[in-house]
Amino acid sequence: MHRRTIRAVRALTEELAASGGLSADETRRNREYIAASAWRYAATLDRLATAFGRPLRDAAVLDIGAFPGHLAAWLSRKEHAHVTAVTLMTSDAFARQMDAAGVAVVTCDVEADAVPAADGTMDIVLCSELIEHLDGDVLHMLREARRVLGDHGMLLLTTPNHASLAHRWALARGRSVYPALDHPDYPFYAGAGVRNPMRHVREFTVHEIAALLAEAGFSRRSVDTASPPLSAGDVLSWRGRLINRIVRYAQPLVANSGTLIIATARP
């Protein structure tokens, strides 16, 4: 993972946040999200550049589950790709940020509706940190991604690894792998009949993601894992930093035990 990419991602997302007319609370949340997500954004972008195998300039990209739009903005502004952001969540600030980045926005329920592209017209379908939030027809979304990809197109999907070594360590100590039930920004329970769209409905393992991609009709699949750089744990206590280092050094001994699943799939 390139530290330069992480720094560039942080700079761009901060720039977008500053230009989007966010409230003080929205700005705080956005900065916290960027701080936690920059490493996986960098991992996603580095893998995309490597796996796609040709320049991203003018590539037709469908970013499914694009909100809050950081990756869509990067691909449009930095790589000069033609990006359509597909989202169920939206806001005035998000719409302004995407417009400023030259990204088209389409609201769509990807578990029920056809995604907004004709058969075989997309070079890249991006599905970053979405599948764990879906509570209906996951395969419908994956089959739609397969439908719109051209013969030489590629899906790139990322999602938290439910079987990561970090999760196994937390569970071994009787701790949850999820945020606290009363987390002020992402509460588990939002009230009867109200669904919290930030909540993870189900996380997956490497084997499960590979099986879902095969069932959706992708013939060529590559699934592995990645983890944040050790520097991401610098905010922890000394005990937390020590445990973080032990877990990271142990990961090569346990197959597919990184924090983030990164999958590429082709028709």
Q: Is 11 a domain residue? A: no
pLDDT of residue 238: 58
Q: Is 91 a domain residue? A: yes
pLDDT of residue 18: 66
107-117 tens-digit pLDDT: 999 999 999 99
The CATH number for 78's domain is: 3.40.50.150
pLDDT of residue 17: 64
10-38 tens-digit pLDDT: 777 677 666 666 677 777 777 777 777 88
The total of structural domains in the chain comes to 1
Alpha carbon distance 38, 8 (integer Å):
9
Q: Is 43 a domain residue? A: no
Q: Is 65 a domain residue? A: yes
Residue identified by tokens 């699943």 is 261
pLDDT of residue 153: 96
Q: Please state, rounded to an integer, the average pLDDT across all residues of the chain.
A: 86
Q: Is 13 a domain residue? A: no
| Mean pLDDT by groups of 10 residues along the chain of 267 residues | 70 68 71 81 92 95 94 93 94 85 94 95 97 92 97 97 93 89 75 72 96 96 88 57 70 86 97
Q: Is 47 a domain residue? A: no
pLDDT of residue 232: 58
The domain in which residue 75 lies consists of: 55-266
pLDDT of residue 112: 93
Q: Is 188 a domain residue? A: yes
Q: Is 10 a domain residue? A: no
